[in-house]
Amino acid sequence: MEAVTIIETAKFNELISSIESLKEQVASLLLLPKEKIKKFLTVKETAEYLNKNPQWVYKKKKDIGFTTIGGEIVFPVAGIDEYIMKDYYRKY
């Protein structure tokens, strides 16, 4: 004789809801934000990404790490993220 587990409807619905929630969380982690897809950000985009003004970005460009492409100053997203982490750990 097979063992059959009977789950209350409420418990079953709760389980399904939890699975759906986990599915959404995993999907959001797998999707990269638009700004992460680009490899380089302009001064204006970097300022928006860091929630600073463009003048601040110009002053900190050496600390953040920049390069030029076609004469325009750009910042590698990976370098910006590294700067954020260094700055965060410096505070704590």
Domain range annotation of the chain: 34-91
CATH architecture label of 34-91: Orthogonal Bundle (1.10)
Confidence band of 48 (pLDDT split at 50, 70, 90): very high
CA distances from 7 to 3, 13, 21 (A): 13, 10, 20
Are 39 and 76 within 8 A, CB to CB? Answer: yes
Share of the chain above pLDDT 90, in %: 42
Q: Residue 44: what pLDDT? A: 97
State residue 15 phi and psi, 5-degree precision.
-65, -45
pTM: 0.56
Q: What residues are paired with 76 via a beta bridge? A: 40
User: How distant, in Å, are the alpha carbons of 13, 59, 67, 81 from that of 62?
Assistant: 54, 8, 9, 14
**Res. 33 pLDDT band, cuts 50 70 90:** low
